[in-house]
A = this chain, B = another copy of it.
Amino acid sequence: MTDSPFAFGLGVGTHNQSGEWLEVFFPKPVLAPTAALADTVAALQSDTALSHDHLESLHQSLIAAGATEQAQVAAQFLDSQAPVVAVLLCQDSAPASVPEAYLKLHLLSHRLVKPHGTSLEGLFGILPNVAWTSEGAVDIAELGARQLAARLRGEVLEVSCVDKFPKMTNYVVPTGVRIAHTARVRLGAYLGEGTTIMHEGFVNFNAGSDGPGMIEGRISAGVMVGSGSDLGGSSSTMGTLSGGGNIIISLGRECLLGANAGTGIPLGDRCTIEAGLFVTAGTKVMLLDVEGMPSQSVKARELAGKSDLLFRRNSATGAVECLTNRSAIELNTDLHAHN
């Protein structure tokens, strides 16, 4: 075996009444497992629940392979009422089953890979739409009967979410974060140490924040926010799934999106967009020179990825303007160099 395998996880999940996977929980996913661990599990199928006997023998093999932590997980799973699965991803290819897709989402939220660091091609087609309830994951087709049954017992089946993605915190809470309202962070989000997601914050899958950072706005799918950057309340980052087109939005370090602001271009480091201003790729922006005088008008997309910019709407003229800490002339030179 020349290449190290990509990832491995032992998971416990939920089946619908037809025995199809609805979701899988991997308590200890592994990136780049050892060859010994991989050899141990190579014969298992990544989409089939293990029998109790298979699990017992897997437990022994894992001990023999020196994979102590995984052996421990297997031992705990021996008591499980719910179906158990072992997933080995030899390569980082598109997820081919529900357990594979869930393992990849776990890798992101466990900080084992960064957004865009694993192939999620075809993910929406693989993931079933699930009712996430106070009794766990329920197949949509089975929900009505479950709700009625609960009512007849004098109870209510709480349905918190009807979606292909569950909330991250029911799977993992990474260290050193706060998430004021967990329904706003999907499994597959990447939250670096020191990230605080306030009530109005939101993080999609394959997206996140390096931390530290105060996130009160929306981090759309595919968007990454650098260290020390803050997103004000209701601020918006356009995602590739939500109108941002094929530009991948990101924010560098120490940026600030003001409250109710938004960006349709990637920002470099130390950029600010003032509260209430939405900068899209097509916004005409007047560059101001060091004296604060208008110097040149450019489309915002030409400023994509540049650092030390402050965007504001002139409250007397209504024009969108951009100031920079460095001289506008230097910026002009830079812009022209790319013409």
Contacts and interface: CB of A to CB of B under 8 A. Distances in A.
A292 interface: no
Nearest to A285: B315
Contact of A162 (B158, B179, B243): B179
Contacts of A286: 316
A69 to B, nearest CB: 12
Contacts of A262: 259-260, 275-276
Nearest to A12: B151
Interface residues of A, number: 89
Contacts of A79: 152
Interface string A275-309: 11110100111100000000001000000000000
A274 interface: yes
A255 to B, nearest CB: 13
Nearest to A180: B163
Nearest to A276: B278
A163 B151 contact: no
A293 B150 CA distance: 63
B274 A280 contact: yes
Among A76, A164, A256, A315, max chain B CB count under 10 A is at A315
Q: Which one of A76, A164, A262 has the highest number of Cβ atoms from chain B below 10 Å of its Cβ?
A: A262
Interface string A77-111: 10111100000000000000000000000000000
Interface in A147-178: 147-148, 151-165, 167, 169-170, 172-173, 175, 177-178
A236 B264 contact: no
22 contacts: A25-B151, A79-B152, A136-B154, A136-B156, A140-B175, A143-B173, A156-B170, A159-B170, A160-B183, A161-B181, A162-B169, A164-B178, A199-B202, A218-B233, A220-B233, A243-B258, A260-B278, A262-B275, A276-B276, A276-B277, A285-B315, A313-B318
Interface of A: 12, 25, 27, 76-77, 79-82, 129, 131, 134-137, 140, 143-144, 147-148, 151-165, 167, 169-170, 172-173, 175, 177-184, 186, 199-200, 202, 214, 216, 218, 220, 232-234, 236, 238, 242-243, 256, 258-260, 262, 264, 274-278, 280, 283-286, 297, 313-320
